[in-house]
Amino acid sequence: MKIMICGSMKFAREMLEAKKALEEMGFQVDVAEDTEQCVDNPGLNMDIDHCVENDVMRSCFKQIEDSDAILVLNHEKNGIPGYVGGNTLMDIGLATYLNKKIFILNPLPSEDQIRYVHEIKLVRPFVLDGDISRIKHF
């Protein structure tokens, strides 16, 4: 199975760690093309010029299209455990439309914390409860 890792680029380092762990389990894994750059330059994903010049969003969408599944790394961010941001919501929507499996690493926050959690639940993702190795069972 080929898996595209999605999530806030604040977790770029964690994305590379998850990629390595999944590859060790025998999966093919993609991350956004600028993930390593974002580890070295944490604000890079907020640089509009960088994102437009590198067509970051369309590139990630193509990687999702070419994958069998996505894995959303939803660590705590902005004081919200299980955070899922707007761009990741778009990744989830695209994966749903393309009939990809959707894995979410941690339990989702409450709808009081993120209003669109309801929509994420509607696509019936597989929540791994923090254990990336559970992905082997799907």
* Domain boundary assignment for the chain: 2-137
**Two structure tokens written together for 6:** 């999605």
Phi and psi at residue 126, in whole multiples of 5°?
-90, 115
Banded pLDDT at 47 (limits 50, 70, 90) = low
Q: Tens digit of pLDDT for each residue in 49-87? A: 777 787 788 999 999 999 999 999 999 999 999 999 999
Cβ atoms within 10 Å, residue 75 = 16
Of residues 49 and 14, more confidently modeled: 14
Q: What is the CATH number of domain 2-137?
A: 3.40.50
Local structure of 104: helix, strand or coil: strand
Banded pLDDT at 124 (limits 50, 70, 90) = very high
Instruction: Answer whether residue 46 shows pLDDT above 90.
Output: no
Rounded to whole angstroms, the Cα distance separating 36 from 39 reads: 5
Rounded to whole angstroms, the Cα distance separating 58 from 12 reads: 18
Phi and psi at residue 71, in whole multiples of 5°?
-120, 120
The pTM is what?
0.93
23 residue type, one letter: E
Mean pLDDT over 98-125 rounds to 97
Round the average pLDDT of the chain to a whole number and report it.
94
Rounded to whole angstroms, the Cα distance separating 29 from 9 reads: 16
Instruction: Answer whether residue 48 shows pLDDT above 90.
Output: no
